[in-house]
Amino acid sequence: MTLRNLEVGKSGRVLQVGGEKALRRRLLEMGITPRTVITVKKIAPMGDPVELFLRGYALTLRLEDAEKITIEKISENGGASK
């Protein structure tokens, strides 16, 4: 599953950060690294961009970039859901 598919209010754990070299480096510099927990806070009225919460701060990301981030959804009790 990718970050693009995560619903508002749900959280996921980053498994892999993809994309071309420059995009991947930018995502990693913003703190989107493997094992980071990300929560979707809001989606813009037109559907793009999406507001995320990770590492204690809010980050806005385009859906095109969110598609490059592979995650596992986290269930309400904190574990990965299957």
CA–CA distance, 46 with 49 (Å, rounded to integer): 8
60 found inside a domain: yes
For residue 82, is it within any domain?
no
Within a domain: residue 42?
Answer: yes
- Residue range of the domain that includes 67: 3-74
Is residue 80 domain-resident?
no
> What CATH number corresponds to the domain at position 43?
2.30.30.90
Task: Tell me, yes or no, whether 33 lies in a domain.
Answer: yes
What is the model's pLDDT at position 77?
59
Calpha distance 72→57 (Å, rounded): 20
How many other C-beta atoms can be found within 10 angstroms of the C-beta atom of residue 31?
Answer: 15
Return per-residue pLDDT of the chain as tens, 82 residues. Answer: 999 999 999 999 999 999 899 999 999 999 999 999 999 999 988 888 999 999 999 999 999 999 999 999 987 655 665 4
Helix, strand and coil content of the chain, in percent to the nearest 5, comes to 20, 40, 40
The reply to whether 43 falls in a domain is: yes
Q: Considering its fold, how many domains does the chain have in total?
A: 1
The Cα 36–Cα 13 span in angstroms is: 6
